[in-house]
Amino acid sequence: MDGDWFGMAASAAGGGVFGVVGTALGRLAGYFEMRQQNAFEEKKWAHDVSLARLTMEADAVRSEMELATEREAGAWDGLSASLHAQAALVSGYPFVDAIRALTRPALTLLLWVITALVFFNVDAAEKARIVETAVFAATAATLWWFGDRSSPTLRSGKT
């Protein structure tokens, strides 16, 4: 009977040790499984972030393209309106249309002729001030008059 108690105690101790080792191995396996699951989740989150970033970039490009399309449509609408307005100005008299077309160039030429006359015919004492003022006016008028005829996209600063 002594052997039976000893055998039973050894079995209980062996079962306990085996149970503890089994639990430790289960926990160790659970740790590695959880670590693998976390690594998978991190990769999934990184993928989701990357996908969201790509979606935002695509939406931004799409919005920019829509804005550019609207801008171009507006430019064409402006050009069309300008052409219709220009057609409405045609009087039917070629002489009147020629005078209207030559107004800005003639005024520009006249302004530069006046500037040259002032430059060559003014006293030296007043020449610097008058010439500076005349050159300023002539340059501003030339650039304004002919710059005003540029395309709408150039005037708005967008290419």
User: What is the domain partition of the chain in residue ranges?
Assistant: 1-89, 92-159
Helices then strands, each counted (H, E), the chain: 4, 0
Nearest to 152, CA basis, from 74, 88, 69 = 74
pLDDT of 4: 66
Q: How far is the C-alpha of 32 from the C-alpha of 122, rounded, in Å?
A: 97
pLDDT of 32: 93
Kindly indicate the confidence band of residue 1, based on its pLDDT and cuts at 50, 70 and 90: low
SS3 assignment, position 107: helix
CB 138 within 8 A of CB 112: yes
pLDDT tens digits, one per residue of 10-38: 777 777 777 777 788 888 988 999 999 99
To which residue do tokens 């009087």 refer?
91
Kindly indicate the confidence band of residue 159, based on its pLDDT and cuts at 50, 70 and 90: very low
pLDDT of 134: 74
Amino acid at 117: L
pLDDT tens digits, one per residue of 78-129: 777 777 776 666 667 788 878 878 888 888 888 888 878 877 887 877 777 7
